């Protein structure tokens, strides 16, 4: 996410300098080589030194620690944001990690990315056509929030303001639920191993339904932990639907099964409006 942001800012002509830090020296070298950053530093504090904006791009539970590491470099009035998929926990923990600095925090969640992670997966067009949620409470840090919105718009994302709790409840449904369903389908489909015949019969439907299951377990572990209540609500709704589907099929009530298929079709069509031309087969 961070690599893509640097590439996107550069491609679109961002005039400010961009400093980068990554835990692995090899990733720093690759980001510099690819032109995603103008310079890299050995510490988060050095990368944050003098910056107007600091974007934290690590798994959620690692973000407060990274904010603390960056804190000695933060100038007065610096803005800190992040790219995490849950917001309530971060809106509590990151401001706490920034105590004593003159920096303010605004949460961001760019809804973009793929099942790939790491700098090798960075793409300058990752944010084009995406939506980014900004969780700035109205009236708090208004200039900081405006700056954060501007940066996401600059790289091609539309911005939506939500409060953290509403954000977390909605993404549990639109992102965390599909992710866990994909994981569980992959586990079930692979439960006897992957014989050549089973692999051969995995077609476009399997490919797309399970794509996100290949995402980073470390990133998703932290999403589960930091949004477990809302996620459990979604998994219980899924369980209810699954039990009902099993019962209908067991009892041979296929007209009712068809009604459920129709209900799922209508739900999908109403939730995914951008479904012309950008579907894979």
Interacting residue with a copy of itself among 113, 119, 124, 134 (CB under 8 A) = 113
CA distance 87 to 46: 26
* 28 half-sphere exposure, CB direction, 13 A CA radius: 14
* Residue 141, burial from CB neighbour count under 10 angstroms (0-12, 13-18, 19+): middle
Cβ distance to a copy of itself smaller for residue 38 or 243: 243
Shortest distance, position 168 Cβ to a copy of itself, whole Å: 11
Interacting residue with a copy of itself among 22, 24, 269, 277 (CB under 8 A) = 269
Shortest distance, position 75 Cβ to a copy of itself, whole Å: 33
Site for a copy of itself in 115-174 (CB under 8 A): 115, 123, 126, 130-131, 133, 158, 160, 162, 166-167, 170-171, 173-174
Site for a copy of itself in 25-64 (CB under 8 A): none
In degrees and rounded to multiples of 5, residue 158 shows phi and psi of: -85, 145
Site for a copy of itself in 218-247 (CB under 8 A): 218, 220-221, 224-225, 228, 231-232, 234-239, 241-243, 245-246
Shortest distance, position 21 Cβ to a copy of itself, whole Å: 25
Closest of 247, 254, 238, 223 to residue 185, by C-alpha: 238
| Three-class SS state of 270 | helix
Question: Using the rule CB under 8 A, is 10 a contact of a copy of itself?
Answer: no
| Three-class SS state of 201 | coil
Per-residue x/- marks for a copy of itself, 249-268, CB under 8 A? xx-x-xx-xxxxxxxxxxxx
Contact 22, 44 (CB under 8 A): no
């Amino acid at each position: 996410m961070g690599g893509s942001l640097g590439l996107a800012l550069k491609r679109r002509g961002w005039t400010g300098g961009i400093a980068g830090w990554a835990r692995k020296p090899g990733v720093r070298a690759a980001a510099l080589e690819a032109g995603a950053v103008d310079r890299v530093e050995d510490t988060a504090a050095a990368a944050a030194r003098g910056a107007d904006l600091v974007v934290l791009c690590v798994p959620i539970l690692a973000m407060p620690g990274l904010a603390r590491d960056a804190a000695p470099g933060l100038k007065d009035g610096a803005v800190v944001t992040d790219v995490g998929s849950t917001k309530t926990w971060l809106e509590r923990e990151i401001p706490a990690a920034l105590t004593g600095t003159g920096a303010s925090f605004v949460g961001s969640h760019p809804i973009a990315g793929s099942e790939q992670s790491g700098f090798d997966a960075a793409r300058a067009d990752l944010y084009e056509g995406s939506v980014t949620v900004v969780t700035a409470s109205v009236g708090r840090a208004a200039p900081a929030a405006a700056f954060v919105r501007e940066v996401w718009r600059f790289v091609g994302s539309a911005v939506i303001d939500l409060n953290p709790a509403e954000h977390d409840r909605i993404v549990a449904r639109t992102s965390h639920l599909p992710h866990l369903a994909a994981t569980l389908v992959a586990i079930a489909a692979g439960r006897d191993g992957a014989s050549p015949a089973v692999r051969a019969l995995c077609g476009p439907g399997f490919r797309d339904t399970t794509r996100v299951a290949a995402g980073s377990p470390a990133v998703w572990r932290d999403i589960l932990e930091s949004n477990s209540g809302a996620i459990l609500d979604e998994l219980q709704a899924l369980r209810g639907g699954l039990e009902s589907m099993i019962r209908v099929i067991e009892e041979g009530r296929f007209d009712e099964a068809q009604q459920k298929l129709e209900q799922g079709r209508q739900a999908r069509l109403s939730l995914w409006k951008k479904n012309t031309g950008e579907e894979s087969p």
